Structure 1
Amino acid sequence: MTDLKIAIVAGSTRPGRHSRMVADWVLDRAAGRPGARYDIVDLTAHPLPLFDEAMPPSFGQYQNAHTKAWAATIAPFDGFVFVSPEYNHSTSAALKNALDYLYAEWQNKAAALVGYGSLSGTRAVEHLRLICAELQMATVRQQLAFSLFNDFENFTSFTPAARHDDAADAMFTQLENWAGALKPLRA
């Protein structure tokens, strides 16, 4: 099997966000894993207006240049690690919007979920599970949950506890197993 391509999606675009720090940590933990290459996809590099396509994404008839560029970015990946803050008991609007733009590019791929917030982002992750299911992505059981109180120094510097390392390894293994198992469905 060829190497798997996994995107770590930094799921917030607001000033002062923490998603890029968390995504960088995830990338650092994934470095050197055999059989998989991890890359960051930062939503700030893909400015998408609120969904503005005339046709539903499931039709695959993308008209706008920004949609076509977003589809070209996402299509080559075999799986995803979505890094999400928890805003108002859910994921960020930017990540939800980015997911809503596409359909076929998400299908039959695996997803792992990483949340952070005052309650460790667990409610955002649960909402993402539902969204991913509708987009026909298989989410893995192992997730990472980072607390603003325990894993961020002064609520700003990301300083996760060492206990997250083993959970990250388990998450990567599950994600790579599922991404590899689903790859023949897309051939």
Structure 2
Amino acid sequence: MALKLQVVICSTRPGRVGPSVANWFKDFAAKHEKFDVSLVDIAEFNLPIYDEPVHPVQRKYEKEHTKKWSASVADADAYVFVTPEYNYGPPPSFVNALNYVYKEWNYKPCGFVSYGGVSGGLRAVQLEKQLVTTLKMMPMVEGVAIPMVATLLDENRKFKSNELIDTSAQTLLNELHRWAEALKAMR
């Protein structure tokens, strides 16, 4: 049985580029053929600012949105977070989504496909890597950075990759698969 990889769209704002980049990566990962790949959009869960009365480590969720988010996160063996950079940091929607659950994230690897202006979202990823380690996740050193993402969108706002980005994506997926296999024993 193939390992389950979730490609997670981290931005929830209207007009976002995330779905275009995430759809490209989902298709690229499916061709890799080592994962059962699904697309997850944080926006579809309508998570308010964290509103559970009990600490997430106890998994005593009261809200339906939390229960649905918990089930989604628990279903994966690995994640690739498709993330923009907001003011040198992660989008608040992503930070909030991470905080909603705890054990569901534990002992799973994650990678990052970041996009933005000249930095390609790398400053946000540096902070995001610190956040995921506190959830006992293993962030990959390898990643995909997409600078000047607007120049890689066609007239329909569909993301068009290039050789450098594709090579980075292949490297990320290879490493992510190795870690996902290795961490299975810890779950």
Q: Which moved more, 1:147-156 or 1:13-22?
A: 147-156
Measured in 2, the distance between the counterparts of 1:182 and 1:91 equals 26
What does residue 34 of structure 1 align with?
33
Measured in 1, the distance between the counterparts of 2:154 and 2:109 equals 34
Gapped regions of structure 1 (runs ≥ 5): none
Q: Percent identity?
A: 35
Measured in 2, the distance between the counterparts of 1:37 and 1:114 equals 18
What does residue 133 of structure 2 align with?
133
What letter is aligned with 2:109?
Answer: A
What does residue 163 of structure 1 align with?
164
Measured in 2, the distance between the counterparts of 1:164 and 1:103 equals 31
What letter is aligned with 1:120?
Answer: G
2:115–2:149 Cα contact (<8 Å) kept: no
Give the TM-score normalised by structure 1.
0.93
Measured in 2, the distance between the counterparts of 1:56 and 1:88 equals 29
Structure 1 residue 55, shift from structure 2 partner? 1.6
What letter is aligned with 1:124?
Answer: A
Does the residue aligned with 1:113 lie in a helix, a strand or coil?
Answer: strand
What does residue 99 of structure 1 align with?
98
For the aligned residue pairs, the C-alpha RMSD in angstroms reads 1.7
Alignment of 1:69-80 (within 5 A): 69-80=68-79
Partner deviation per Cα, 1:98-128 (whole Å, 9 max, x = no partner): 1110000000001001111112000111111
1:146–1:160 Cα contact (<8 Å) kept: no
Report how many aligned residue pairs link the two structures: 185
Structure 1 residue 43, shift from structure 2 partner? 1.3
Does the residue aligned with 1:31 lie in a helix, a strand or coil?
Answer: helix
Structure 1 residue 163, shift from structure 2 partner? 1.2
Partner deviation per Cα, 1:19-64 (whole Å, 9 max, x = no partner): 1111011111112333311110011211101100112212222111
Gapped regions of structure 2 (runs ≥ 5): none
Structure 1 residue 150, shift from structure 2 partner? 7.0
Between Structure 1 and Structure 2, the one with more helix by share is 2
